[in-house]
Chain A
Amino acid sequence: MPGYSAAVLDRMRNPQRVGTLPESAEVGTGEAGSLDAGTFARIQVRVRQGRIVEARFKVFGCSAAIAATGLVTEWLEGASLEDARRFTAERVVEHLDLPAERAHVAGVAVDAARQAVRDAGEKAGQQS
């Protein structure tokens, strides 16, 4: 298949961590992108003691969008909130070897992740 790396195609055809987490005080939700723009991603994280213990995603978009959101969700699981804030779109593009015309979807995935982490952080702050 022209254009996409094996990393993209594998993640697109066998996505891991697809799903939703029921809303709770320890779950943060982030959404990014828009249907009009062709990519919409939602990422959720469950945070316990400053560490992400579970992450799930849903995404509407091209193969690169599915792969990028899946990759970011994989990175999130097990990461500290501090580490999670440092994920960059560039790293996603590099890891998946995304073609230039699809690089923007990495930004959507990372934005959704940051919002999820921020949401979880705010909820944790409200509790303390």
Chain B
Amino acid sequence: MIYLDHHATTPVDSRVLEVMLPFFTDLYGNASSRTHQAGWVAHDAVERARKQVAALMGADAREVVFTSGATEANHLAIAGVAAATNRRHVVTLVTEHKAVLEPVRRLATEGWSVTELTVPSTGLIDPAEVGAAITPATALVSVMLAHNEIGVIQPVAEIARLAHNHGALVHTDAVQAFGKLPLDVHALGVDLASFSAHKVYGPKGVGALFVARGVEKRMRPAVIGGGQERGLRGGTLNVPGIVGFGAACAVAATELPSESGRLAQLRDRLWQGLLAQVGDVTVNGAIAPRLPGNLNVQVAGVEGESLLLGLTEIAVSSGAACLSADPSHVLRSLGLSRDAALASLRFGLGRFTTAADVDRAVAHVAEVVTYLRATSPMARAAAGARG
């Protein structure tokens, strides 16, 4: 099985696991215990990890709030800001992850006004459209930095500038961009940004919210009890997970400059291979600016579910969920038909993907699509249409 679903999750890098292991056994102290050595060791390890995580996002360590993952970070950003403001309007995009859309839509049930902006087929929002949607009542603007399905990179810096003109706070779900693109949250100008460890070869169950200095005064915690994490997130810290998150960020920081280019080359090799060997494939969303390891394509002439189930040798994500009649809300909002969305594949290349993996994946997709097209009564018409 060739794993090409690195947007969903990544394996824990062995260098990361090695650093984590002692914190499950010998170094099991509670980072909040201030009265003995075990607690101090755990505390120091968490603070070292905080610096490593902060460094990869260009933040000060004091601006990092550890959470159980990106979903909780998004929730803290949205619900936390909403609970501390008199404003009652939020702006986001229809293509956001459900971990942003659902907390935003909950605000709508609580009397908030919610603007979900649509995007063109490129998936890219025009910052001026966001600017036009912002009013004096806007408390928060939330736009994903790099998209988890189609990989496109939104103009968040420009959006942040426009939002700040109106005194609104700006949040970005930066999970997919993290460790893949050079990132400086201060240069980006956002107030809040969400991150996850398991997307950067760290463990599952740990994430972080960047909270720019001073912004915590404009928020209320979502989880209380204990006062940890600047009072924004109560609860005993997940020390092994946080240590692993830090180690994963340290590895990513070292490898990012070369890895980014390598992934982009592999992605281009994948696209050229699909074009040549599969044919009748179309990229979903703008080809650039896009995450280096992302390719999302629709395959003409095949039905989505049988395509996915036919692909037994590669792990990819699809516009279809098995036996689900609901295609991706993101692809549908780009204007794809239901069938085209269902017959779309998301390839996510990662640190351990090789050129040989890409070549084998292309050959396998070509084989499966060829037999599905041969099975289809429409294949001849499609071939005729191609001339």
Contacts and interface: CB of A to CB of B under 8 A. Distances in A.
Interface of A: 1-4, 9, 12-13, 15, 18, 31, 35, 38, 40-42, 58-63, 65-66, 99, 101-102
Interface stretch (B37-45, B262-270, B368-376): B368-376
25 contacts: A2-B322, A2-B323, A3-B323, A12-B306, A12-B310, A13-B309, A31-B377, A35-B378, A38-B303, A41-B377, A42-B377, A58-B375, A58-B379, A59-B375, A59-B376, A60-B377, A62-B305, A62-B306, A63-B309, A63-B310, A65-B303, A66-B306, A101-B323, A101-B325, A102-B323
B339 interface: yes
Given A62-B306, A63-B310, A101-B323, 17 more contacts: A3-B322, A9-B309, A12-B309, A12-B310, A13-B309, A13-B310, A13-B312, A18-B374, A18-B375, A38-B303, A40-B377, A58-B375, A58-B377, A59-B377, A60-B375, A61-B306, A66-B306
A4 B325 CA distance: 15
Interface in B122-161: none
Given A38-B339, A61-B303, A1 B309 contact: yes
Interface in B346-387: 371, 374-379
**Which secondary structure dominates where chain A touches chain B?**
mixed
B378 A63 contact: no
Nearest to A36: B339
Interface of B: 303, 305-306, 309-310, 312, 322-323, 325, 339, 371, 374-379
Shortest 5 CB-CB contacts between residues of A and residues of B: A58-B377, A3-B323, A62-B305, A60-B376, A42-B377
A15 B310 CA distance: 11
A13 B309 CA distance: 8
Contacts, number: 57
Contact of B376 (A2, A4, A58): A58
A9 to B, nearest CB: 7
Contacts of A9: 309
Contacts of A13: 309-310, 312
Contacts of B376: 58-60
Nearest to A18: B375
